[in-house]
Amino acid sequence: MIGRLNHVAIAVPDLAAAIAQYRDALGAEVGAPQDEPDHGVTVVFINLPNTKIELLHPLGEASPIAGFLEKNPSGGIHHVCYEVEDITAARDRLTASGARVLGDGAPKIGAHGKPVLFLHPKDFNGCLIELEEV
């Protein structure tokens, strides 16, 4: 059911410093910051030959990333994103097997302009999983 690894998301306390680190120290291709108000984050994508890294920074006080950074002040891996061909079919299959979808279960439009869902980390070995329709 799952396809390619789309990205690994890393919550960062200082977005400008993280951008500089990936661009200058690691020589990576770094995209422009983009605000995602529906998700409460500012994201920056780091393009790699085989996948992407997504830097996440809180957008507003109610951001879920703000809470993550309170618990992890240095930042850290927040989630992994896998591609699926049909997000509704994937959701239905997963919920039928007992997995929990966060929120109301309806896909939202993610940073790539495509439908996404998040799966409860307690159902996947402590890892928050994002599914993105491709």
Residues classed as catalytic: 130
* Contact (CB, 8 A) for 48 and 76: no
Q: What are phi and psi of 16, to 5 degrees?
A: -60, -40
* Contact (CB, 8 A) for 40 and 67: no
Q: How far is CA 51 from CA 42, 46, 92, 94, 121, in A?
A: 19, 9, 26, 24, 22
